[in-house]
Amino acid sequence: MRPLDVLQQSLHKRVLVEMKGGRSYRGVLDAYDQHLNLVLSAAEEVVNDQVTPRGGVTLLRGDSIVYISP
């Protein structure tokens, strides 16, 4: 199984995304591209165990992502 296959299976499901700099986002994976740019809906930002809901759509740049957990 290839990494992009896992992302394909995670579409429209909740994922956890760890970013460079210690930020994390939890939300529903709506879309991704070959650069691993992600579009999340119903996202929450997690910084130092503090959760902040984010309204609307959240775009995460692929070059800032450390890992994606389905």
Per-domain residue ranges of the chain: 3-69
**Could you say which residues of the chain have pLDDT below 50?**
none
pLDDT digits (tens, 9 = 90+) for 31-41: 999 999 999 99
The reported pTM is: 0.90
CATH architecture designation of domain 3-69: Roll (2.30)
Pairing outcome for strands 14-19 and 24-32: antiparallel
Q: Which residues contact 24 (CB under 8 A, 6 or more apart)?
A: 16, 17, 18, 45, 46, 47
